[in-house]
Amino acid sequence: MKMAVTRRDFAKRSAYTGAGFALVGTAGVLGTAPGALATETAGTAAEQGGGAAGLGYGPLVADPKGILALPEGFTYRIITRTGETTLESGESTPSNHDGTATFEGPRGATLLVNNHELAGPRTDWPHPVPLIDGLVYDPAASGGCTVVEVAKHGDHVSEWVGIAGTATNCAGGRTPWGTWLTCEETEDKAGQKGMTKDHGYVFEVDPLDRKANRNPKPIKALGRYAHEAVVVDPKRGHLYLTEDASGPNGLLYRWVPPHGFEHGRGQLRTLKDDAGVLQAPKCYDAGGKFVDDLSRATKTGTVYGVDWEPVLDRDAKSVSVRKQFKDGEITRARKLEGMWWADGGAYIVSSYAREESPVQHDGQVWFYDPKRRTLTLKVLLGVNPDPSKDGAFDGPDNITVSPYGGLVIAEDGEGIQHLFGATDDGRTYPIARNDLNIGSAEEPEFSEFTGVVFSPDGGTLYANIQVPGIMLAITGPWRRQS
């Protein structure tokens, strides 16, 4: 179901570039003009303070416990921690927390499905996802998902396995019908790294129905590659998926369901392996010129038209999907990672670009509008010259749209790691800083933030520190940011 956009149509639609979120750049953080990526320098913590005047929640206060710095008036609680909290089955909470979604649970509880990004054989990890009978895809693999239930008043937490025996479960996405799609960020095949089955697939996990998770089945129609995140267009039924890969750079994908297919709980696993059409984007600018890589956009507000090209061998039997396309056939981007569906489209992250890309940057957020079939650059972060200094933001990864306006973004960059917000007009402000040094005093190291998501009622912001594996609940005087 290919819907081409003519150059004439795109020229007409370029008048709409102001529609939707308008995350334009702020000096020192977001590059807003050609050359900004090479010339902008991130401000110091003192220069940025708690963000622009009247924006955000004030400066971050160092945590005496050495876990999480927050603005005054905010508090956090540890929900799970690898090596300390345990599953219902008695084993430790698995390590390497990653993508997360929240769901309304029974009796006012909040359910969180939490990915565990564990690659390779189980012997490589002290705390892999336990192999619970009936929930295992490949007994050699160490990753998977757990489901965490937090009671209404937060006074009780329980955790159990949703799926096991999968590999490198990185991001994923929540479905409109109330399930979680967990994504394997790997292309390992049976016989590689001890695996007994092919990996690089998407699996569905139901947080409310444990029986539905038995006998895990990969959704092969969505392709086999280094998956990151996935979102669902609830109106058209399309799925959009990101790929974090290089040599060559990865792709954004669109899956178009077969005629007559109706989404719902467990329906994706009923699909034939070749059901629907998997496609990759081909972008062009307002003048009709082909764009080979999204890093070429050096100004927020840049709009590209998008056509979609079919993938020939989605299961990558002999050649990786991204390598099946020749130069000039599709548009690539480095480290396509987090996504979130809101405002009638998909927010899409390219975490950074270096020498493997035409232009270097430290993060982009794009918005794909399926109605107009356009990609608009909303956020652009210039290369951070000194990630060891606090105050600058770089390396966006997981994102969510905030009920208080704008985006909340988890950092996966170099040096100091933050959760930060970006308003509709592009101003940025800190929300949290990871104070847990897993390195040394001489060479400090801070793990990335992952799994940023609000509770269903909007009162709690959940986020993970990936290593060693800590799920946090953040509460405080949230207010509208505009």
Please answer whether residues 257 and 237 qualify as being in contact, where contact means their C-beta atoms are separated by less than 8 angstroms.
yes
Amino acid 154: pLDDT? 87
Sorted by sequence, the CB contacts under 8 Å of residue 28 that are 6+ apart come out as 40, 41, 42, 43, 47, 48, 392
Residues facing residue 143 across a β-bridge = 166
pTM: 0.90
Q: 327 by DSSP, 3-state: which?
A: coil
Tokens of 417: 């790691």
Tokens of 12: 């007409």
Q: With the C-alpha atoms ordered 89, 90, 91, 95, is the resulting torsion angle positive or negative?
A: positive
Could you give the CA distance from residue 305 to residue 6 in angstroms, rounded to a whole number? Answer: 9
Q: 50 by DSSP, 3-state: which?
A: coil
Tokens of 94: 């698995």
Q: Could you say which DSSP state residue 20 is in?
A: S
Could you give the CA distance from residue 271 to residue 224 in angstroms, rounded to a whole number? Answer: 15
Could you give the CA distance from residue 367 to residue 252 in angstroms, rounded to a whole number? Answer: 12
Amino acid 260: pLDDT? 96
Amino acid 147: pLDDT? 98
DSSP string, 392-432: ----EEEEEE-TTSSEEEEE-SSSS-EEEEE-TTS-EEEEE
Sorted by sequence, the CB contacts under 8 Å of residue 41 that are 6+ apart come out as 28, 382, 385
Sorted by sequence, the CB contacts under 8 Å of residue 191 that are 6+ apart come out as none
Q: What would the CATH number be for the domain defined by 7-475?
A: 2.120.10.30
The residue with tokens 């409109």 is: 176
Could you give the CA distance from residue 324 to residue 351 in angstroms, rounded to a whole number? Answer: 23
Could you give the CA distance from residue 204 to residue 172 in angstroms, rounded to a whole number? Answer: 10
Segments of the chain scoring below 50 in pLDDT: 1-51
Sorted by sequence, the CB contacts under 8 Å of residue 106 that are 6+ apart come out as none
User: Environment class of residue 188 by beta-carbon count within 10 Å: exposed (0-12), middle (13-18) or buried (19+)?
Assistant: buried
Amino acid 425: pLDDT? 76
Alpha-carbon distance values, 249 to 96, 226, 358 (Å): 25, 11, 11
Could you give the CA distance from residue 324 to residue 327 in angstroms, rounded to a whole number? Answer: 10
pLDDT, tens digit, for every residue of 220-245? 999 999 999 999 999 999 999 999 99
Q: 227: closest CA among 197, 202, 193, 198?
A: 202
Could you give the CA distance from residue 419 to residue 268 in angstroms, rounded to a whole number? Answer: 33
Alpha-carbon distance values, 312 to 184, 223, 319, 334 (Å): 21, 10, 10, 22
Amino acid 118: pLDDT? 98
